Amino acid sequence: MTGRIGLFWDNPLMFSRLIEDCGAACESVNPNMLASPFWRGRFVSVIVPTGFANPAYSNLLPALRAAEGRIRRFVENGGRLLVFGAGGSREDAYDWLPFPVTYSFAYGPRAVRFAGESTFNSLFSGYDLDAVECDGSFPSHGGETLAATPGGEALLVGKPLGDGMILVTSIHEYPSREFLKKFSCGDRETLF
């Protein structure tokens, strides 16, 4: 088993410490690296943190759009992608993903209910499921709703693609250690 995560952001984040504490190697990937056609990495999983589409926090969105084809190939070839909330009112914030996702920005606690049994439900392990901090929801998408509010607002969306998986969530918390341990480990790394 191997565990290597690419963390896409403008500069190093404390998030990388949590990933490493869970037993995975973490490589920070900035927008210049991501947008470059010459940069290559090998990962089991890739994470795009909260606020990626808000220019007050990050310049990542243009790089994600430039790497759209590579992101798709990474997932199709067995990679795992976890994308958090865009962090602002942009309906086109997820247009770089290989399936449609519409995002509605609205920060606040939400009750979480699972659509069924899924290994990805562990993302919320350890949190009070009656009041999880979220930065929005996904009113429409081309994936499967894995977790939602009691009123039906999608908070975690999954989409298998080729041999890999894409998860999109609006949770405004770190994923649980249990989830990170599973999400970061695999039989092989995939070229990005």
What is the per-residue DSSP string for 125-144?
TTS-TTSEEEEEEEEEESSE
- Residue 90 is predicted with a pLDDT of 86
Out of 3.30.450.20, 3.40.140.10, 3.90.1300.10, 3.40.50.880, which CATH number does the structure's domain 2-191 have? 3.40.50.880
**58-62, 128-132, 149-153, 181-185: range with lowest mean pLDDT:** 181-185
Phi, psi of 156, rounded to the nearest 5 degrees: -140, 120
Residue 121 gets which letter from DSSP? G
Rounded CA-CA distance 180/121 in Å is 12
Q: Are 34 and 58 in contact (CB under 8 A)?
A: no
Q: How many CB atoms lie within 10 A of CB 119?
A: 12
180 band by pLDDT with thresholds 50, 70 and 90: very high
Q: How many CB atoms lie within 10 A of CB 37?
A: 9
pTM: 0.96
Q: Are 124 and 111 in contact (CB under 8 A)?
A: no
- Residue 146 is predicted with a pLDDT of 98
Q: Are 64 and 23 in contact (CB under 8 A)?
A: no
Q: Are 84 and 48 in contact (CB under 8 A)?
A: yes
Rounded CA-CA distance 169/171 in Å is 6
112 band by pLDDT with thresholds 50, 70 and 90: very high
- Residue 89 is predicted with a pLDDT of 87
**The residue type at 162:** G
- Residue 91 is predicted with a pLDDT of 81
Three-state DSSP state, 188: coil
Residue 167 gets which letter from DSSP? E
From residue 119, alpha-carbon distances to 55, 123, 147, 178, 181 in Å are: 33, 9, 12, 10, 12
Mean pLDDT of 100-110: 96
